[in-house]
Structures are given as structure tokens and as C-alpha cells.
Chain A
Amino acid sequence: MYTFSSRLKTFAVILMVLGILGIGYSFFTAPKTIEDVEKILKEQEDHHGGHGAASHHPDATAATTQEVHAPEANQKNATDHVIHDNQDHAENIEKHTTGSVDEPVTHNADTTQNMAADQDVHDNVAHTEMGQNHAADAHGHDAHAGETAEEHAAHAHEGHDAHADHAAHQKHLEHVLHQLQNKPWAAVYVACIFFMLISLGVLAFYAIQYAAQAGWSPMLFRVMEGITAYLLPGSIIFFVLLLCACFHIGHNGLFVWMDKDVVAHDHLIQGKSGYLNIPFFLIRAVIFLAGWNLYRFLSRRNSIANDDANDDSLYKKTFKMSAAFLVFFIVTESIMSWDWIMSVDPHWYSTLFGWYVFASFFVSGITTIAMITIYLKSKGYLEYVNTSHLHDLAKFMFGISIFWTYLWFSQFMLMWYANIPEEVTYFVTRIEKYNLPFFGMLAMNFVFPVLILLNTDFKRLTWIVVMAGIVILCGHYIDFFNMIMPATVGDQWFIGAGEIGAILFFLGLFIFVVFTALTKAPLMLKRNPYLEESKHFHY
């Protein structure tokens, strides 16, 4: 039996306390009113001397634009601008026409849109380069039909001239206020879903090992069961967060489609409201979370009961259950990714998104198994686990990392290549505003593991696997960060007290729950048809 070392327990508690302090601080310092936002933007302006001023003075905007872009005025950057200006310009026109036809939209429908100030900067460039063609093009996507293209273009241009207007400034401030109020919520949400999905990834891996009748892994089943113990507390906290978002508790505006004012002015979201509505959303969440936790509960119960059984009937039951769970899992996982991750960008859609999210948390889950196995082995608890088991886990880390990259690239490249405005905005925002995290995670999740875990001998060295594991886990946290943040906080992102606090809190909770669960049952199964094979597994 494993005993939870008191030092590790203290460490987990310290992490949780520090995490709560960080989360509390970020909630406490989030701006409450528009005046706060104005102050914050003033400060930013003093620091960077940039965008804040632009929205006040249209003339100054042009000047700033030239200053900002002058040093980069080579061919390469010019195209960059053409691409994204095109984009921003179309969006902006849509926004302005909306504003002029209907009553002013308070909360911008598409939160992935850049700050109004930024749009000013780029729009001016777009104007000089693009002229009226794009205004006319954008008309094709505009929901407000009934006017001719010329009229639309005229409207759009008037809109630009009116940027100096106080109303536009107020709108911008309100937009930033929403982003800043979302920030602490988004930080908690990302960390919460990340750790919950790690646990789910391990559960899927466990079910696969059962269903595939793997001969090497029964030695690690108890470790996996320990990790999946986090699924229940993790999903309860996660569900509470979803409720907070659904009922707008504490300015939680993570899901913009839940805002009735926004939906009233957004034809695209209206069209999706048959699927994206709060009751159905919550029902789906309950079914998914309940289904996963049910399998986890039953398989764990069978696994412990099987230790004292006289025949293999419980094993067979778990085998059948695992196969059924995997079917349920792959369907719910896909829908889950649309609901909880893709719907923060309700204007955007991608068909392979579910697989992409799956690969991300699956590789994180396998990495977690490897790291906890190494820890327990180093403490002398896993007698029969040898370097071959480690080697197999490292191979999975390596392979699924490449699989993740394959899906990431397939999603990115198809949209980049076709460059259709309504879907490419997703990547434009990320490349413009999240350049380092967006491409940094590619280095962490692909280049590093591929180069380090390619070597057979390296896959057997614990310190290499631990190092690669830490990089992979950090990389996939950033992956989830990149999926959620651009839509909820936009360019106000920062990895500060709130984000780090949330990671520490959930890490502490994760360690606490997982290692407590590990003490509940012997770390090695007593009976399993593949137990002997697993004991003597060598590669």
C-alpha cells in the first residue's frame, strides 16, 4: 500500500493556498467600472505610447500607423498587413453598418475581434491600400441586406470618420471592460478544464488498454485509476464554472452566445441558437460528465473487487464496459469540444476540432501517467515496473505529440490556405495577438518532444522523460490557453497572478486527490489475466 507522504501533502496544500490567493487577487483587481478601464488604458498608453490615444484622434491615428509600420515597410510585412487588414476591415465594416442601422451594439458580438483602437490603426492602412473594393466585398457577408454595395461602402467610410466620436470611445471602453472582467474567469476556466481533461485522457487511455487487452500495462492500472480519481472533483468544479457562465455570476461572460443582447443583434448566433442555448447546453454537460464519471466509478469498483474474485467475470465485464465507454467517449468528447471550447468563438467552426482537443489532452494524460509512475517508482513503490514500461509510455508521448501536431497543422493549414474570411479570423487573431504562445507551443509540443524522445535510449532515462513531460504539459496548457483566451479576453491577455494562481490551485488539488486515491488500494492488481505478462514485460 502506498502512503501519502506528508511532505507531498503539505506541498499540495501550499499550492492550493497560493492558488486561491492568486485567483482572489485577480478577481479583486479586475476593473468594476468603465472609469477603471479608462485608467488602465491610460497607464498602458503611458507604457507603450500606442493604441489608447488612437481612438481619440483620427488624425493622430494615421500618424501613429505610419510610425508603427514604417520600420517594417518591406515586402514581407506588407503582405502580412494586406492579409489581416483585409480581415479587420471586413469585420469593422460589418460592425459599423450594424451600428448605423440598428441601435448601438454594446457588447461586441464577436469577442475575437480586436480592440477598436487596433482596428483604427489597421483600417487606415487598409484604406490606403485597398480602397473601396473591400467594403464592397464585405457586403457579401453582411447580414443587413437591402442597401446597395455603394451605400454600404459609404456607410463604412462615414463610420471610420466618426471614430473620434465619444460614443465609439465609450463602446471601446465597454468592450475592454468585458474582456478584463472575463480575465480571471477565463484563467480559472482554462486551468480547470485542462486538469479535468488530463484526468479524462487517462481514463480514455485506461479504457483503451482494457479494450485492446494490452499485455504491458496492467502493472500501471492502479496508477491510472489514481489519476482518474480527479475526474469527479474536477468535473464538479467545472460544472459549477459552467453554471457561473450560464447565469452570468460575477460578470462571467466567457460564452458570448449566452448574452441575450448580443444574440439579438447577431444573425449568425441566432441561427445556431437551436444548439447553442443554455438549457440544452447544461443538459449535454450533465450527460457527458455523468457518463464519464459512471464508467470511472464502475471500472474502479470492478478493479478492486477483482482482487478478491475467484474467476475472471469482473474482468470480462470491465472489458465490455470499456469498449462501450470508448464509443460513448468519442462521441461525447467531440461534442464536448464544441460546447466548452469552440463555442467561446461562436462565429467560428472547424470540423476536426474535436480530434484536435482530444489529441491535446490525451498526450497530456499519458505524460501524467509517466510522470506519476516515475515518481512512485523512485519512492520504491512499483516493484515490477521497469524501464520497458517507461519506454512504452515515452513512445506514446512521442507518437501522440506528433499526432497532435498533425491535427494542429491540418486545421491551421487548411484555413490558412483557403483564407476564407469567416474562418481565418480565428488564426489571424492568434497570430497577431498571441504570436509567442501560438508558435511557442508548437516548439514545446512538437519540436522538443520529437528531437528528445526520438532516441530509444533516451526514452528509458527517467530524467529525460520527466523533462520532456514537463515541457509537454506546459505546452498543452498553453494550447488550451490559446483556445480560450483570444475569444474571452482578446489582446488583454497576460499570464499573471490569476493564470498562475489558477494553475497552482488545480495542480495542488490534482496532486492531493490523485495521491489520496493512490493510498486507497494496493498499487498492484492482485488478479488480471495479463498481470504475469505485464510483470515480465521487457522490450
Chain B
Amino acid sequence: MSNKVLHVLYNDDDVLMDAVKKTRAAHHHIEEIYTPFPVHGLDKAMGLEPTRIAITSFLYGLVGLSVAVTMMRFIMIIDWPQDIGGKPSFSYIQNMPAFVPVMFEMTVFFAAHLMVITFYMRSKLWPFKKAENPDVRTTDDHFLMEIAAHGDVDQLVSFFENTGAVEIKVIEKH
């Protein structure tokens, strides 16, 4: 069964924001919006959930800290507690100031890299991924809103003509 969608193009982000608000008010479902640059406040206007990536980053940081502590405690204190230049290797806490730089860097390393990888995975981004661009102009100077078209398509088109669209296309999507 084929599915119709509307591709509504705008050439100004303010017009786009207005259109998004009107579309939401008229209860039309926005499938996706393609923009050449981040439009401030667009996610709020669309009613998207806030991202949880900062929370994952915090947890990854804790993982990094644990890795650093466990590693250095095993190597420096448990496995081979040498006297290196008079540093007290009797317990972890006694020699801890010397480990702090590593603990800090590992925390940042894990928090940053794992968060980025999480971002790539959640956004489905990787090398050789096929670009999902409905219209090449959206990477340059146009904004595209994709609307699921149910019922009366003509009425829908005329609704979007009133929102300041510069172009409206009806597309068959499989």
C-alpha cells in the first residue's frame, strides 16, 4: 500500500517556525523537517522530547572514572607495589594525588567518546551511509517540512500554501 507525503518547502526560518506552529495547531502530523542549519527553538515548536545524551555522558564518565581507579589500584597497589621515588604505594588513598590526572582524563575520555558514539548510533550515522536527503536544496538555503497526507490531499495543500510555502510537492512514499 502506498503512502502519500507532502514536501513543503520554505526559504526562511522564521516562516518555517510560524508554519510549524500553525501545523501543530491544526493537528497535522509532521514527519520530519530538513534544515540547512540548526534553527533555534525548532525542537520545542515541534514538540520533540528533550535529548538524554547528557545523562548518558554523565554515566559514561562514571564508567571512565571506575576504569581508571580499578586499573591503577590493581597495577600500582595490588599487583606490584614498588617503591618508586618514595611514593607511598601502601594503599590507594595514600598515593591518590598522583592518580588524579589519569582519573580526570579517563573520565573525560569515556564521557566524550562514548557520548559521540552514542550520538552516531542514535542518529544512524556512519561512513558510507546513504544520504537521506529529499531535496538537495535543503543543505543550502531551503527548509523542507514533510507531512503525512491522509484524507483530502488538496485541502492539505491549500492549507500549506497559506503558511508561506514556496513550493509544495505530493510524493508517493513506499
Contact = CB atoms under 8 A, between A and B. Distances in A.
B98 interface: yes
A409 B99 CA distance: 12
Contacts of B100: 409, 413
A79 B94 CA distance: 9
Interface in A55-93: 75-76, 78-80, 83
Interface in A78-123: 78-80, 83
Interface in A265-312: none
Given A76-B90, A76-B91, A419-B86, 7 more contacts: A75-B91, A79-B94, A83-B88, A409-B97, A409-B100, A417-B98, A454-B58
A76 B97 contact: no
Interface of B: 54, 58, 86, 88, 90-91, 94, 97-98, 100
Contacts of B97: 409, 412-413, 416-417
A76 B86 CA distance: 13
B87 to A, nearest CB: 8
25 contacts: A75-B90, A75-B91, A76-B88, A76-B90, A76-B91, A76-B94, A78-B90, A79-B88, A79-B90, A79-B94, A80-B88, A80-B94, A83-B88, A409-B97, A409-B100, A412-B97, A413-B97, A413-B98, A413-B100, A416-B97, A417-B97, A417-B98, A419-B86, A454-B58, A456-B54
A261 B97 CA distance: 39
A413 B98 CA distance: 7
Interface in A424-478: 454, 456
* 5 nearest A-B pairs in the assembled complex, by CB-CB distance: A79-B88, A75-B90, A413-B97, A76-B90, A76-B91
A79 B98 CA distance: 16
B94 to A, nearest CB: 6
A56 B86 CA distance: 35
Interface in A491-525: none
A520 B54 CA distance: 44
Contacts of A83: 88
Contacts of A80: 88, 94
Nearest to A77: B90
A413 B54 CA distance: 30
A78 B88 CA distance: 10
Contacts of A78: 90
Contacts of B58: 454
Contacts of A456: 54
B101 to A, nearest CB: 8
Contacts of B94: 76, 79-80
B107 to A, nearest CB: 12
A309 B122 CA distance: 55
A200 B90 CA distance: 44
Contacts of B90: 75-76, 78-79
Contacts of B98: 413, 417
A91 B100 CA distance: 30
A435 B66 CA distance: 26
Contacts of A412: 97
Residue from A79, A83, A413 whose CB has the most chain B CB atoms within 10 Å = A79
Interface in A399-416: 409, 412-413, 416
Nearest to A414: B97
A151 B52 CA distance: 71
Contacts of A75: 90-91
A456 B58 CA distance: 13
Contacts of A409: 97, 100
A79 B83 CA distance: 12
A80 B54 CA distance: 41
A456 B90 CA distance: 40
Interface string A194-229: 000000000000000000000000000000000000
Nearest to B97: A413
B154 to A, nearest CB: 40
Nearest to B41: A538
A138 to B, nearest CB: 17
A406 to B, nearest CB: 9
A412 B100 CA distance: 12
A456 B52 CA distance: 12
A456 B51 CA distance: 12
Contacts of A416: 97
A416 B85 CA distance: 13
B78 to A, nearest CB: 13
A131 B54 CA distance: 57
Nearest to A538: B41
A76 B88 CA distance: 8
Nearest to A413: B97
A428 to B, nearest CB: 14
Interface in A369-421: 409, 412-413, 416-417, 419
A79 B81 CA distance: 14
Nearest to B90: A75
Contacts of A454: 58
Contacts of B54: 456
A522 B58 CA distance: 43
Interface in A160-210: none
A80 B91 CA distance: 11
A416 B100 CA distance: 13
A417 B97 CA distance: 8
A34 B54 CA distance: 62
Residue from B58, B94, B100 whose CB has the most chain A CB atoms within 10 Å = B94
A154 to B, nearest CB: 27
A79 B95 CA distance: 11
A409 B98 CA distance: 11
Nearest to B55: A455
Nearest to B91: A76
Contacts of A79: 88, 90, 94
B82 to A, nearest CB: 14
Nearest to A419: B86
A84 B90 CA distance: 16
A205 B58 CA distance: 30
A79 B88 CA distance: 7
B49 to A, nearest CB: 14
A325 B54 CA distance: 38
A345 to B, nearest CB: 21
B54 to A, nearest CB: 8
B85 to A, nearest CB: 9
Nearest to A454: B58
